[in-house]
């Protein structure tokens, strides 16, 4: 369908679901699938209807010594060691869940300087929508805490193509990007799919190989 139609349908879903409390929404998918872009679009289009809270998994990295303890190119390390899921539950999902005090944090660790952050807690308005994007967020440790879950999918070839455009400067060149994706990120996603089956857990699955005309693969919300 046209992208605007998909975004509109998702917004209507989120507006209608549990309006009396904070709605916790996961936007999952492989690297370079378009998770952040979709979450940002949903936040903009919710404006005036429900307040949107944007949080991402990048604010919950573990220290470098933990993330890379299996090696910098280890797919097992990417899946198992990258993020502090206890902190995600403790500082975001539990306080924004039923019975929580609505005091949440958007980050606990800055991976760029490899240090914890001292960000003050914020208070979510009643009826807000949390849009939380990131890889691996439908893993078993987190999946029961989401009220709505969206999985944005692309082929491995398309993920690598986008990464070569997006990440070459940041990572140090296309050869570095290709090695990181082929040895760590793409195999890590295969491990995730094989052990956690995020597509089965998600309420909505979107094929985003063509962002202008994404294809709805599953809609059970």
Position 221 scores a pLDDT of: 77
Q: Which fold has domain 3-203?
A: Rossmann fold (3.40.50)
> Is 58 exposed, middle or buried (CB count within 10 Å of its CB: 0-12, 13-18, 19+)?
middle
Angle (nearest 5°) at CA 164 between 160 and 168: 140
Which pTM does this prediction carry? 0.95
Query: CA nearest 14: which of 206, 150, 153?
Result: 150
Domain ranges of the chain: 3-203
Task: For residue 79, give Cα distances in angstroms to 70, 127, 135, 139, 159.
Answer: 11, 32, 9, 10, 17
Q: What is the pLDDT along the chain (221 residues), one digit of tens a residue?
A: 899 999 999 999 999 999 999 999 999 999 999 999 999 999 999 998 999 999 999 999 999 999 999 999 999 999 999 999 999 999 999 999 999 999 999 999 999 999 999 989 999 999 999 999 999 999 999 999 999 999 999 999 999 999 999 999 989 999 999 999 999 999 999 999 999 999 999 999 999 999 999 999 999 97
- Specify the 3-state DSSP secondary structure of 78: helix
Position 140 scores a pLDDT of: 96
Strands 204-207 and 148-153: parallel
Residue 218 dihedral angles phi and psi, to the nearest 5°: -150, 140
Quote the DSSP letter at residue 113.
T
Q: Tokens standing for 120? A: 């003050």
């Amino acid at each position: 369908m046209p992208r605007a139609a998909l975004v509109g349908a998702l917004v209507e879903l989120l507006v209608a679901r549990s309006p009396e409390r904070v709605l916790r929404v996961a936007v999952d998918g492989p690297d370079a699938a378009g998770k952040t872009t979709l979450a940002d679009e949903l936040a903009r289009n919710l404006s005036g209807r429900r307040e949107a809270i944007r949080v991402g998994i990048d604010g919950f990295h573990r220290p470098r010594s933990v993330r890379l303890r299996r090696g910098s190119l280890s797919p097992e390390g990417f899946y198992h060691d990258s993020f502090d899921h206890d902190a995600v539950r403790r500082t975001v999902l539990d306080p924004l869940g039923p019975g929580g005090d609505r005091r949440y944090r958007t980050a606990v660790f800055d991976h760029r300087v490899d240090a914890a952050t001292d960000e003050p807690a914020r208070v979510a308005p009643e009826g807000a929508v949390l849009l939380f994007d990131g890889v691996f967020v439908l893993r078993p440790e987190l999946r029961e805490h989401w009220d709505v879950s969206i999985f944005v999918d692309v082929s491995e070839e398309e993920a690598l193509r986008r990464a070569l455009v997006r990440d070459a400067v940041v990572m140090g060149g296309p050869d570095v990007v290709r090695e990181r994706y082929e040895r760590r990120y793409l195999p890590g996603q295969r491990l995730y799919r094989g052990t956690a089956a995020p597509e089965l857990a998600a309420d909505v699955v979107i094929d985003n190989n063509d962002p202008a005309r994404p294809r709805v693969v599953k809609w059970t919300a």
